Amino acid sequence: MGKKTKQDIIDVAKKMFNERGFDNVSVREISEALRMSKGNLTYYFKKKEDIAEAILESNGMDSFEISKNLEELHVQFNRMQQVVMDNAFYFGYYTQLANRSLRIREMQKNVINLIRMNLLRSFHFLSKQGYLIEERFDGEYECIVDALMLNIIYWIPYNRMKDNDKESTFTEHAWKLIFGLLSDKGKSEVSIDKF
């Protein structure tokens, strides 16, 4: 019963956090939605941040791999976008959650470093395969990867603040950001028009 109850708490809390925002949901409201006492809920999770930590442990961002071709890179961008959409509460409160929980901050740091490193490795590999041009200056790929990381982390709050009716996706934005790095071979495989 314990594992199912814990997973039920995680699922319900994530849904409520995504719908209403992390700060707008209380532990009491989560327990009421589950028809359990607040005391029973706090047996599994002492505070709301503990629930957020459990959600983040299973969000899938730490499984980002090196892309060996442009299709794999496209799949990775789509996966990153899906993780962000599935965890809107987290990305909407990214900085605040890091300030509330040392464990969340450490998870963020580990995931960022992993994805960043694997994106850089992907870019260098794709360059050797002829899909990307060589760096025009030292650290060019690193600058683009940092821009991609900032985009994915702050995609949700940034889009909430924009006065723009046209909705774009992170994947679309990512390809437009790296399009200038594509070689002729890469451009022949990626049509910017499809975004």
pLDDT at residue 162, as a whole number: 77
> pLDDT value at position 119?
95
Look at residue 193 and tell me whether its pLDDT is greater than 60: no
pLDDT confidence band for 122 (50 / 70 / 90): very high
Q: Each residue of 28-53: pLDDT tens digit?
A: 999 999 999 999 999 999 999 999 99
- Degrees, nearest 5: CA angle 104-95-76: 75
Q: What confidence score (pLDDT) does residue 145 get? A: 97
Q: Which residues contact 105 (CB under 8 A, 6 or more apart)?
A: 98, 99
pLDDT above 50: residue 127:
yes
Domain ranges of the chain: 2-55, 60-194
pLDDT digits (tens, 9 = 90+) for 148-180: 999 999 988 888 787 666 667 899 999 999 999
Query: Does 192 have pLDDT greater than 70?
Result: no
- Give the whole-angstrom CA distance, residue 171 versus residue 177: 10
pLDDT at 195: 52
Q: CATH number of the domain at 2-55, out of 3.40.50.720, 1.10.10.60, 1.20.1280.260, 1.10.3730.10? A: 1.10.10.60
Report the predicted TM-score, pTM, of the whole model to 2 decimal places: 0.86
Residue 142 has pLDDT above 80, yes or no: yes
